[in-house]
Structure 1
Amino acid sequence: MQTRVGEVVVHSVAHGTGRPVLVLHGAGVDHREAEACFEPALDGVAGLRRIYPDLPGMGRTTAPATLRSADDVLETLLGFADEVTGGTAHLLIGHSAGAYYAQAMAARRPERVAGLALVCPLSPGTRDVPERRVVAGPGGIGNDDFRTYFVIQTTEMLDRYERHIAPATALVDHAALERIGERWVLTPDGAPAYPGPTVVVAGRLDSTVGYAAAVDLLGSHPHASLAVLDDAGHALPHERPGPLRALFADWLARVEPSS
């Protein structure tokens, strides 16, 4: 599916019918990683239309020169959400940089967001990031990107990396990401944090963004549940799918009464 938002043509795929669920992937990948991780987490939940866009400069989504900051990307994602949801209340799920944008989108338009899920969220407040270490697997397999990303370094995880993550690297517009990355901190707009049903999930061993900043979100989101999972890094959605699915089930149960 191709959706034009200003000068940006956003590529996305969708599954199912019902309430829209917008799922945002992290940096340097495309919709295929989010699809591989969050389709199982939402498996069996009826009445959800899961929409997986490629973020600008990744996958098959363009990043024209007019996109020069995270603020520009945020405006594009808000416009995309308007187009694909028809302005109806929807769910937002984000991983890593996708969670950073999802958090801002929900704060900007809380009346249009029925629930918010943040997994290993990127944050300007990142601190106390643990050192990288391997908790399972033989080690020494895969490339540097795999070994940096995963703390569970088994052949199963390597297969997931090679099928759902590595193919996206050839599609990355590095010049665009570098340009946007020079202004990657979103401009504060004074909006309070999203007040609706929220779940925040972090990896105890996340050597990319840590877990401390994710814990901080509990204080500003009045209806947030928080889980910090041991033996999980930044690739938590791959490494701990069982707990993630259970946490999402609880989150969705909390979404319904508030809708």
Structure 2
Amino acid sequence: MEIRAGQVVFHCVEHGTGRPVLVLHGAGVDHREAEACFEPALDGVAGLRRVYPDLPGMGRTAAPETLRSADGVVDTLLRFADEVTAGAAYLLVGHSAGAYFAQAMAARRPERVAGLALVCPLLPGVREVPGHRVVAGSGEIGDDVFRSYFVIQTPEMLERYRRHVEPAAALVDEAALERIGERWALTPGHTPPYPGPTVVVAGRLDSTVGYAAAVDLVHHYPHASLAVVDDAGHALPHEQPELLRALLADWLVRVERSASAGRADGKPSTRTGPS
């Protein structure tokens, strides 16, 4: 499916019907990784329409020359959200760089975001990043990218990498990502923290972004749950699927509770948190 948002035509896939859930993948991959990781956790939940777009410059979504910053990507994603949701409130899930964009989207349009899930989020304050360490497997299978990404290096994880991660590399527009990366820092906002139900999940062994900066987010978001998962790296959604499913299930319960509280207070059901 293709959806135009300004000058960008997004390629995306979707499953289910009901409240929209936008799931944003990280850098250097495409919707297939997010779909493989999050669809098992969301598929069994009734009333969710899961939408997995290819981000600009990745997969089958081209990035026009006019797209030259992370701020531009966020603006484009907000237009995409407007188009795909037809104005309804939506849930927002992001992994890695997708979580970086998701944070900004929720900050700029809090009234439209019913819940925010950040998994191994890329953050501007990344610090205390641990060295890479393998916790399962010989450390001798797969290519260099696999071995530097996964800390659980079993044949099962290698198969997931080869099916859902590796194929996207050939589709990456490296020039576009370099162009956007030159202005990667988002313009600081001056709005209150996103007030809705939030979950932050980090891998204790994440040698890409670490977990220390993610821990700080529990103090930033007033309704955030935080999980730092041992024996998981940046590929946490692959390596710890059952735990991720449980954490997202708890988050979805809180989303529904927040929506119900809004309806009981006479507020529009599309809002979440205090107005």
TM-score bin, normalised by smaller chain: over 0.9
Alignment of 1:138-157 (within 5 A): 138-157=138-157
Residue 208 in structure 1 maps to residue 208 in structure 2 = yes
Residue 98 in structure 1 maps to residue 109 in structure 2 = no
Query: Amino acid of the residue matched to residue 73 of structure 1?
Result: V
Q: Spell out, residue by residue over 1:146-193, the C-alpha distance to the aligned partner (whole angstroms, 9 max, x if none).
A: 011100000100000000000000000000000001111111121222
Query: Amino acid of the residue matched to residue 208 of structure 1?
Result: T
Q: Residue 213 of structure 1: CA displacement?
A: 0.6
| Structure 2 counterpart of 1:63 | 63
Distance 1:184 1:140 in 2: 34
Q: Residue 6 of structure 1: CA displacement?
A: 1.4
| Structure 2 counterpart of 1:123 | 123
| Structure 1 counterpart of 2:271 | none
Stretches of structure 2 that go unaligned for 5 or more consecutive residues are 260-275
| Structure 2 counterpart of 1:18 | 18
Distance 2:245 2:152 in 1: 18
| Structure 2 counterpart of 1:186 | 186
SS of residue in 2 equivalent to 1:82: helix
| Structure 2 counterpart of 1:254 | 254
Residue 113 in structure 1 maps to residue 96 in structure 2 = no
Q: Percent identity?
A: 80
SS of residue in 2 equivalent to 1:111: coil
Distance 1:190 1:235 in 2: 32
Normalising by the residue count of structure 2, what TM-score does the alignment of the two structures yield? 0.93
Q: Spell out, residue by residue over 1:183-219, the C-alpha distance to the aligned partner (whole angstroms, 9 max, x if none).
A: 1111112122211000000000000000001000011
Alignment of 1:204-243 (within 5 A): 204-243=204-243
SS of residue in 2 equivalent to 1:227: strand
Distance 2:219 2:98 in 1: 21
SS of residue in 1 equivalent to 2:111: helix
Query: Amino acid of the residue matched to residue 246 of structure 1?
Result: A
Q: Residue 124 of structure 1: CA displacement?
A: 0.6
Distance 2:145 2:80 in 1: 30
Q: Which runs of 4+ in 1 moved over 4 A?
A: none
SS of residue in 2 equivalent to 1:44: coil
Q: Residue 43 of structure 1: CA displacement?
A: 2.9
Stretches of structure 1 that go unaligned for 5 or more consecutive residues are none
Alignment of 1:70-81 (within 5 A): 70-81=70-81
Q: Residue 87 of structure 1: CA displacement?
A: 1.1
Report the number of matched residues.
Answer: 259
Distance 2:165 2:96 in 1: 14
| Root-mean-square deviation (Å) | 0.6
SS of residue in 2 equivalent to 1:21: strand
SS of residue in 2 equivalent to 1:133: coil
Residue 38 in structure 1 maps to residue 38 in structure 2 = yes
Distance 1:20 1:241 in 2: 22
Distance 1:236 1:207 in 2: 11
Q: Spell out, residue by residue over 1:47-103, the C-alpha distance to the aligned partner (whole angstroms, 9 max, x if none).
A: 000000000000000101000000000000000000000111110000000001001
Normalising by the residue count of structure 1, what TM-score does the alignment of the two structures yield? 0.99
SS of residue in 1 equivalent to 2:231: coil
Query: Amino acid of the residue matched to residue 232 of structure 1?
Result: A
Distance 1:208 1:41 in 2: 24
| Structure 1 counterpart of 2:267 | none
